[in-house]
Structure 1
Amino acid sequence: MTTLKSALDTASPEYAANVAAMQEKLVEIDGELAKAVDGGGERSNARHASRGKLTARARIELLLDRDSPFLELCPLAGYGSEFTVGGSIAGGIGVVNGVECMIVATDPTVKGGATNPWAMRKSLRLQTIALENRLPVISLVESGGADLPRQLEIFIPGGRSFKNLTNLSKAGIPTIALVFGNSTAGGAYLPGMSDHIVMIKERSKVFLAGPPLVKAATGEISNDEELGGAEMHSRVSGLADYFAEDEQDACRIGRLIVGRLNWKKAGPKPRPVAPAPRYDENELLGVVPPDLKVPFDPKEVIARVVDDSDFDEFKPLFGTSLVTGWADVHGYPIGILANARGALFNEDALKATQFIQLANRYNTPLLFLHNTTGYMVGKDYEQRGIIKHGAMMINAVSNSTVPHISILLGSSYGAGHYGMCGRPYDPRFLFTWPSARSSVMGAQQLAEVTYNVSKASAEAQGKPFDDEGALAIKAAIEHQIDAESLPLVLSGMVYDDGIIDPRDTRTVLGMTLSAIHSAPVEGTGEFGVFRM
């Protein structure tokens, strides 16, 4: 039997404490998500509505199939910065006329939809996801171009967004732009480089320079409509392919365009039957303790995520700090690597390397569930070859071509973050639970290292050592690293694709796996040199 048996005691005080801690974190995250939805705030939203315009998310909702889900991505971009949470963009994966699409909507209530550094980083990430997973891109445009005071951070790296659009088109991935208002300067190239363009009567304005700038540059006097109105671009320039009466009509036309794409998924279909897990997904709130030094069993997570709680474990008696095995999620086959205890030992790295090779042989996507402090250190492990064994695992992760999904459940420190396919190793999707932490090492360990190094340096130079001052610095460093490793901070920097409620894990995995299978799913037999 490969059905997992849960040992989670939901009546214990420890479980109750875990749930309370997780719920407290979720309340904080929900508060930040509300800021993203609110966009430019009450005044900006009221002014926007008084002009008869819909919000970015209302436009997305009009576009989507009725009652279909929408997986919003990177919703907390810009958290902790001077900019509005969300990066002045709403974006994610949704179903339009039966086709999974990447939808990217600029939020005109935030500085007229101008692109700030976080909006740029977020939009580039969304385009990358679309290209890797072969998702048609629908841009809902109302943007004044770059946030000019921050042009130094935007102009050069932001140009890649236009390159990405042309790369998508070259790859045969459709790009569609629905223009809801002003799309000026750099913003004009977003529709200009799309395959299909819809413009709205007396609303859409697409030009490189508005009337004031044209007058200043050339002396020519013109108005918005003559320079870049929807009717002009429909009748004269030919930039517009479709002429809509209003915002609702633009969304209707957008849906029609998607319906005419004759779009087909290139990956294999899921199994026809996908039984729900045998255990309640709500119990996921109490699996991870607030103190990440306390171990937890990742199989309790797996049992509440995979189909029928059925998990075929690979090498269960070898390398027991890493759980590996095969399962299905919403009918899609998947290989799972999950940290069972903090450190990754020699045997764990060897097991992971073989398992990743097998997944590539079987064209099976991989799911990485993180809770690791990194690769084990110490004389015994060094002499047994932890460096070369860890390198083998990282080599396998780096060169694997089956799609990877990573979810940070607990700790994700040091090279363990890399070996478990953290953000630098380009997983197709990376999500974080509110309980997670990620940094070069744990805050306490890092602070202790800096203290010991400074003390040893003073002793080596024969200088007096200010222990009281060093302890104060140690405490400050520990506080800093602990704050920097929080999920909100990492998500704000677009180091993940979103913080998810543990109860939504199976749903999020199902949606991402479905998106992944829009593209071919193919493994490789080619890896770098494995040092034996």
Structure 2
Amino acid sequence: MPVYRSMLDVQSESFAENRAAMLGLVGTLRDLENRAAAKSEERRPRFEERGQLTPRERLSQLLDPGMPYLALYNMAGYLADNGDPATSVPGASMITGIGFVSGVRCLVFVDDSGINAGASTPRSVDKALGCLDIALKQKLPFIHLVESAGANLMDYTVELWAHGGGMFHGLAKLSAAGVPVITVLHGPSTAGGAYQPGMSDYVIGVRKNGMAALAGAALVQAATGEESDDRTLGGAEMHASVSGLVEYLAEDDAHGIAIARDIVARLDWNKDCAAPPARAFTEPVSSADEIAGLAPVDYRRPYDMRELAARLVDGSDFSDFKPDYGVSTVCLQADVFGHPCGILGNNGPIDPQGATKAAQFMQLCDQADIPLVFLSNTTGYMVGAEYEHAGMIKHGSKMIQAVSNVRVPKITFYVGASFGAGNYGMCGYAYAPDFLFSWPNAKTGVMGGEQAALTMEQVMTRSAARRGKTLDPAMLKAQRDKIVSLFDGQSDAFYTSGHMLDHGVIDPRDTRKVLGFALETCREARRRQLHPNSFGVARM
């Protein structure tokens, strides 16, 4: 097919305006990520005093140098654990992502013990459960670098405790599925956290610092009156020689990580999932850097999904499926890093024709075993008498049926607005995409704040008119402002990502790289043969 000829004017005033606004949001993203790193770095003297590596140094030594790494849940907890934008720290005291260890694609999970000693926040459990789910779905060995004070008893909630059991359930399911769990015990892991090494297939304990016990010395004395110390109760040395909890005893953090890398190398994990032949591809003709000026920050200003696709797909080359039917819904066939995929995007609200077109396109991709990519930028399905009479409900339902039941990988990006049932039809959070990332300009929710405020105002005005009354304009304005603030405050990408409604916020210019990594991860998972057993590996 002919290469798409971009119509984007990179010299225009609107391009410059879009770019400045988008890069401002990317700057906010980087500032928030750095906030967590800086907070953790404050504890560096304490790590050095104990002869330890910092959490980020541990991650760096674990991963293969020069290989790609995809961070997951980078905003988790932001404005959720602490509602103050000036002080809220994202990350939920954990550093998580997918990276390569000894040539094997793994899910890596590092307790950020530089922040409150790695104590759990209300979103820590949600983040852990999300990572366990991804590891199981994508068949990724799970490596946990442990050092955590466990739950903060001052912030205890019964929900946190109840949901926390799901972490150990998830570890058991991984082991039983044939996905290995490897733990390096860098520091303390007490109470419920002691089951982290207990539920692992391989445990490496670090001398002097590694420790696991159902109760630390303070709790033991409070509960039983027994006086002891943490090293006697659960030091790595004791577990390596007495309890059998630890398989490998490391001299220090670096040695423990080296052992973990060696374990992964000896798994021969890729023996049944050989790397595919190198795929020939060409980079997009249009530069990914231009995405920052292509997409307006204001979702009410549309832009063409074909222009975005031209900066994502190989050679800026794609086939446009039914371009003259359901024109506000864009369906494209293309390759990304040599991987065929079907791309769905929105050039506005979804009408009945667009919904049926999308449903057919998804079924065709499912039939051909081609992954689906959703570029979600829609205010929802069309409303009004014309569209109701045209069968918007039944046609929209076809689209939702299709996205719910296709068997191929689904990868979603929120690249603008993603409101109402339009979010559902475009494979939003509830539709279990394999990966879901937001741009920092994205807005998601039932509807925009202005629309919600106007809806309520019209309802109240009509109700008052039926009673022969008029409403005070000042009261209506106050209500309007309140509703706009309520809806728009919760639709912001940093807020929704902080509440774990995606897998993280990314720089729009990195979308092609993230998409390629996600497609390769899904391809590998679909081709990998596991060797499950009934109950997981029991510790002896």
1:311: Cα distance to partner? 0.8
Instruction: Give the counterpart of 1:143 among 144, 148, 153.
Output: 148
Checking the alignment, whether the CA contact within 8 Å between 1:433 and 1:487 is kept in structure 2 is yes
Equivalents in 2 of 1:27, 1:514: separation in Å?
28
Structure-1 residue corresponding to 2:533: none
1:297: Cα distance to partner? 0.7
Structure-2 residue corresponding to 1:72: 71
Q: Is 2:60 the partner of 1:61? A: yes
Checking the alignment, whether the CA contact within 8 Å between 1:269 and 1:517 is kept in structure 2 is no
1:87: Cα distance to partner? 0.5
- Determine helix, strand or coil for the equivalent of 1:100: strand
Equivalents in 1 of 2:278, 2:101: separation in Å?
23
Provide closer, same or farther for how the CA distance between residues 484 and 389 of structure 1 changes in structure 2, counting only shifts above 3 A: same
Equivalents in 2 of 1:155, 1:110: separation in Å?
21
- Determine helix, strand or coil for the equivalent of 1:434: coil
1:40: Cα distance to partner? 4.2
Instruction: Give the counterpart of 2:419 among 413, 435, 444.
Output: 413
Provide closer, same or farther for how the CA distance between residues 2 and 174 of structure 1 changes in structure 2, counting only shifts above 3 A: farther
Instruction: Give the counterpart of 2:294 among 287, 310, 335.
Output: 287
Q: Is 2:57 the partner of 1:32? A: no
Instruction: Give the counterpart of 2:109 among 104, 109, 119.
Output: 104
Checking the alignment, whether the CA contact within 8 Å between 1:135 and 1:518 is kept in structure 2 is no
Equivalents in 2 of 1:377, 1:268: separation in Å?
48
In structure 1, stretches of 5+ residues that fail to align are 523-532
Q: Is 2:66 the partner of 1:52? A: no
TM-score (norm 2): 0.93
Structure-2 residue corresponding to 1:305: 312
Structure-1 residue corresponding to 2:537: none
Equivalents in 1 of 2:277, 2:349: separation in Å?
34
Instruction: Give the counterpart of 2:521 among 515, 518, 532.
Output: 515
- Deviation track 1:204-233 (CA, whole Å, cap 9, x = no partner) reads 001001122223323333322221111111
Checking the alignment, whether the CA contact within 8 Å between 2:52 and 2:252 is kept in structure 1 is no
| Aligned partner letter, 1:61 | S
Number of residue pairs aligned between Structure 1 and Structure 2? 520
| Aligned partner letter, 1:119 | S
Question: What are the residue-to-residue correspondences of 1:119-518 with 2, within 5 Å?
Answer: 119-152=124-157, 153-264=159-270, 269=276, 272-340=279-347, 342-518=348-524
Provide closer, same or farther for how the CA distance between residues 268 and 356 of structure 1 changes in structure 2, counting only shifts above 3 A: farther
Q: State percent identity of aligned pairs.
A: 44
Checking the alignment, whether the CA contact within 8 Å between 2:187 and 2:211 is kept in structure 1 is yes
Checking the alignment, whether the CA contact within 8 Å between 1:369 and 1:406 is kept in structure 2 is yes
- Determine helix, strand or coil for the equivalent of 2:308: helix
1:469: Cα distance to partner? 0.6
- Deviation track 1:139-175 (CA, whole Å, cap 9, x = no partner) reads 0100122122233131001111110111111111111
RMSD: 1.7
Equivalents in 2 of 1:417, 1:34: separation in Å?
30
- Deviation track 1:372-396 (CA, whole Å, cap 9, x = no partner) reads 0100011111011000000110011
Equivalents in 1 of 2:420, 2:135: separation in Å?
29
TM-score (norm 1): 0.95
Instruction: Give the counterpart of 2:93 among 88, 91, 105.
Output: 88
Checking the alignment, whether the CA contact within 8 Å between 2:32 and 2:89 is kept in structure 1 is no
| Aligned partner letter, 2:390 | R
Checking the alignment, whether the CA contact within 8 Å between 1:364 and 1:521 is kept in structure 2 is no
170-179 or 222-231: bigger deviation: 222-231
1:132: Cα distance to partner? 1.0
1:433: Cα distance to partner? 1.0
Provide closer, same or farther for how the CA distance between residues 267 and 520 of structure 1 changes in structure 2, counting only shifts above 3 A: farther
- Deviation track 1:432-476 (CA, whole Å, cap 9, x = no partner) reads 112211111121111100111122222334455222211221022
| Aligned partner letter, 2:312 | V
Checking the alignment, whether the CA contact within 8 Å between 1:39 and 1:107 is kept in structure 2 is no
Provide closer, same or farther for how the CA distance between residues 319 and 504 of structure 1 changes in structure 2, counting only shifts above 3 A: same
